[in-house]
Structure 1
Amino acid sequence: MAIRTLIADDELLARQKLRQLLRDEPDIDIVGEASSAREVYELVRAASPQLLFLDVRMPGMDGLDLIAELSLSTGITLPRVILTTAYDHYALRAFELNATDYLLKPFSAERLRSAVMRARDQLRTGERNDDRSQTRDGAPGQYTARIIFKSRGRILFLPVSDIRWIGAEENYVRICTGTETHLLRETMNSMEQRLDPETFLRVHRSAIVNLRYVKEVRTETRGDFMVHLINGQKLAMSRSYHARISELLSRAG
């Protein structure tokens, strides 16, 4: 199914380059282009795009303020928004506004493809434009659903569901997904407080695991406990955490 897409940038060359790169995405249907905030507003209302590539610095209104205005407007369904900019200091506010991704100019075709894939997945699963977890009664929860950070020249919006485990490395934490790892200047305690304890469990002072990727907990020959992940990785578990994980795994089963 085609994804109705709007391109918004005040520079003609930037719009042309983006349009050219998007030709490699067969399900992207570009329904319009805009060069000002007012044009974006009118096109979103008229064309009801599902995806919006939005330059942060737009004539008439800051792109981030435009997202906020669109989200408050009656009769308008806010599309997934991928922000494009040459500046990384807007990333935190973009995260707060639940942008799907944040592309730093100049971005590569591969980086663009990753952003489109994320938007495609969100549209397919019907993920809400809500970056907080939900409590059992549907009210907003207190745990984050994405972590934002800069890695290898990129601003990443990493869904916590992609995290398999987190390990401590001196003054940093290493976040491990299925395909790559990221080093953040963060503490294990602060990470633990941000993550839902029903899904993420501290198994050692230097390790947190996502229970969705845990295969089993084994007792080794010397009585030590090891957490086995579904990909074959093994993590040491402290005795003090064993009772907690046993309870959660039995509940899940």
Structure 2
Amino acid sequence: MRTLDQPMRVLVVDDEPLARRGVIRRLAEHPDVIVVGEAEDSETARMQLTQLAPDLVFMDIEMPGISGLDVLRDVARDDRPLIVFLTAYEQFALGAFEVSALDYLLKPVDDLRFDEALSRSRQMLAQRRLARNLTQAPPENKAPFPDRFMVREGNRSVFVSAGEIEWVEAMGDYAGLHVKGKAYLLRETVHNLLEKLDPSRFVRIHRSTIVRVDLIADIKTLTNKDSLLRLLDGTPLRVSRSYSEALRDVLRSQR
């Protein structure tokens, strides 16, 4: 996995000291993470969100007074950090996704689920920083990307222009490049291919799918918090909730 250029700055909010210490202890095992603050109530959390501007917040939902959900609802959507909610009750999950939470963890927190949430946060933060840098960096500073890829077609090799690729799907050890109704096999994983595609034009929407941004016709949210994306030619593609925030960031940067 690509590491972050800068440490991930984390704020931990929970009214239970033992729960806060448990999260901080787990975060201490990751050298690319810095805990910039902790809060035991909603008012302190509000103040630290403004003062510290963390990249990621582990936020308890149920706290005395104002809930963690209400704290985040008061923050403008574009200004919200990545959010992982902590809760003892699964019924709060729907409210968590209403404020675009990246994940929610049930107490007592499972170590594996915690690491999954942190890994997902790294991916989303990397996408956010990349999208932000693309809007700020002058054109001459942008890294060059391949103009075309050599693929197999029968017993011969042909070239596919990067600008003609409509979407990409994982096909075992290959990436399937979809171009004008045809699929060409490139001996490359989707993960590695993403590194070679211009991130202002292509975005990952699922662990096995990449799509060209300018071909997106519409996006519909599904009941399980995944989304269904439709391309201009009518092709339907599923957007995993794990990649929804990154997709929104790229679309906002293009607006």
Instruction: Say if 1:86 and 1:105, in contact at 8 Å, map to a contact too.
Output: yes
User: What corresponds to 1:27 in structure 2?
Assistant: 32
TM-score (norm 1): 0.53
SS for the counterpart of 2:79 is coil
- 2:123 maps to which of 111, 118, 121: 121
User: What corresponds to 2:51 in structure 1?
Assistant: 46
Residues 26-70 of structure 1: CA deviation (Å, up to 9, x unaligned):
111001110000000001111111110000012220111111012
Change (3 A) 1:200 1:60: farther
SS for the counterpart of 1:25 is coil
Q: Give structure 2 stretches of 5+ with no counterpart.
A: 1-5, 132-212, 239-255
Q: Which amino acid letter does the alignment assign opposite residue 37 of structure 2? A: G
Change (3 A) 1:66 1:197: same
User: What corresponds to 1:80 in structure 2?
Assistant: 82
Residues 65-123 of structure 1: CA deviation (Å, up to 9, x unaligned):
11101227xxx932111000000001112112110101011122111110011111111
Change (3 A) 1:47 1:143: same
Q: Which amino acid letter does the alignment assign opposite residue 77 of structure 1? A: D
User: What corresponds to 2:99 in structure 1?
Assistant: 97
Residues 157-188 of structure 1: CA deviation (Å, up to 9, x unaligned):
xxx5xxxxxxxxxxxxxxxxxxxxxxxxxxxx
User: What corresponds to 1:57 in structure 2?
Assistant: 62
User: What corresponds to 1:9 in structure 2?
Assistant: 14
Instruction: Say if 2:216 and 2:229, in contact at 8 Å, map to a contact too.
Output: no
Structure 2 counterparts to residues 227-246 of structure 1, below 5 A: none
Q: Which runs of 4+ in 1 moved over 3 A?
A: 135-139, 145-148, 199-202
Instruction: Say if 2:10 and 2:34, in contact at 8 Å, map to a contact too.
Output: yes
SS for the counterpart of 2:73 is helix
Aligned: 1:144 with 2:177: no
User: What corresponds to 2:197 in structure 1?
Assistant: none
Q: Which amino acid letter does the alignment assign opposite residue 104 of structure 2? A: Y
Aligned: 1:195 with 2:228: yes
Shift of 1:200: 8.8
Structure 1: distance between partners of 2:222 and 2:99? 13
Q: Which amino acid letter does the alignment assign opposite residue 120 of structure 1? A: R
Structure 1: distance between partners of 2:123 and 2:222? 15
Q: Which amino acid letter does the alignment assign opposite residue 144 of structure 1? A: T
Instruction: Give RMSD over aligned pairs.
Output: 3.4
Instruction: Say if 1:48 and 1:77, in contact at 8 Å, map to a contact too.
Output: no
Q: Which amino acid letter does the alignment assign opposite residue 85 of structure 1? A: T
Residues 198-222 of structure 1: CA deviation (Å, up to 9, x unaligned):
39958xxxxxx76xxxxxxxxxxxx
| Structure of higher RCO (CA pairs closer than 8 Å, 6+ residues apart) | 2
SS for the counterpart of 2:74 is helix
Structure 2 counterparts to residues 102-113 of structure 1, below 5 A: 102-113=104-115
Structure 1: distance between partners of 2:105 and 2:80? 19
TM-score (norm 2): 0.53
Change (3 A) 1:65 1:200: farther
Structure 1: distance between partners of 2:66 and 2:26? 26
Change (3 A) 1:137 1:200: closer
SS for the counterpart of 1:126 is helix
Structure (1 or 2) with the greater strand fraction: 1
